[in-house]
Amino acid sequence: MHIHPLAVVSSTAKIGPDVRIGPFCVVESDVTIGPGCTLESGAIIKEGTTLGADNHVFEGAVLGGLPQHVHMPEHPGRVVIGAGNTFRENVTVHRAMEVGNVTTLGDNNLLMVGAHVAHDCRLGNHVILTNNVLLAGHVTVEDRANLSGAVAVHQFCRVGTLAMVGGHARVVKDVPPFVTIDGISALVVGLNQVGLRRAGHDLEAVRQLKVAYRVIYRGGLTWSEVLKRLKSEFSDAPAAAFYEFCSTTKRGITPERRQPPTATIKLHRDTESEPQVRAKAG
């Protein structure tokens, strides 16, 4: 264990072996830091925070801050973080609103510069939050989801496993697993083919996901019919995750950008501003 003489570490904090704490860090009371963690200069670990092993906290990150809420709780909950996570510069993670509740992060997540995780959020494992991602309170992000730069997620929304959310998207409904969200429209544009391949899913698994995707978005079915077909026809992983996710949504799922075949799209052409094109004599 190496603690720089310019760091401020509470005498009641629990510091594991092989921990490195750099200059100007602050570690408050009621904090547990697991073995092998590194706190770079100026990192702050607030009261009520537990860090597992081998986490790397970069300059200016603040873990365990109080919730941002107009009714500040007298006794807030905690932050519990797993192992092997990376918190880049100026990341913030806030404690749960109520005592007994927890803001949780799993293992091997990467939170890039300026990402914010609000109170009562739940992150799984191998999640990537790119620069300036904003998660409002009570958001759930499942394993291997990837949120691109400046994505904002509304409170109580869920982002499913292996979902890919494009930059600057505003997520206001649940994002089903395995799909890609276009950053401009914030709508679903298909499966996350790259993520599925990198996660090791074989061709048959991807084929089943495509069939289930069409049931959800292109079958012209009512929601109850969608759930019935997902439950009866896709019992094997990974496609079974669609039913598990969709049957528990409370906010509804993000719609697809592609219009159904029966949709009527009215196009407006400003003929006055168009250049006149004359046919060339033959």
Q: Is 137 among the catalytic positions?
A: yes
Q: Is 119 among the catalytic positions?
A: yes
Per-residue pLDDT of the chain (282 residues; tens, 9 = 90+): 899 999 999 999 999 999 999 999 999 999 999 999 999 999 999 999 999 999 999 999 999 999 999 988 889 999 999 999 999 999 999 999 999 999 999 999 999 999 999 999 999 999 999 999 999 999 999 999 999 999 999 999 999 999 999 999 999 999 999 999 999 999 999 999 999 999 999 999 999 999 999 999 999 999 999 999 999 999 999 999 999 999 999 999 999 998 655 554 444 444 444 454 444 433
Q: Is 100 among the catalytic positions?
A: no
| Choice among 22, 52, 137, 160 that is catalytic | 137
Q: b/e for 31-49, b at 16 or more Cβ within 10 A?
A: bebbebbbbbebbbbbbbb
Strands 152-153 and 134-135 turn out to be parallel
* Residue 170 tokens, joined: 């505003």
Domain at 2-198, CATH from 1.10.260.40, 3.40.50.300, 2.160.10.10, 2.40.30.10: 2.160.10.10
Q: Report whether 105 contacts 82 (CB < 8 A).
A: yes
| Choice among 56, 119, 126, 201 that is catalytic | 119
Q: What is the DSSP string of 20-67?
A: EE-TT-EE-SSEEE-TT-EE-TT-EE-TTEEE-TT-EE-TT-EEEEPP
CA distance 36 to 22: 13
Task: Count the helices and strands in the chain (H runs, E runs).
Answer: 4, 28
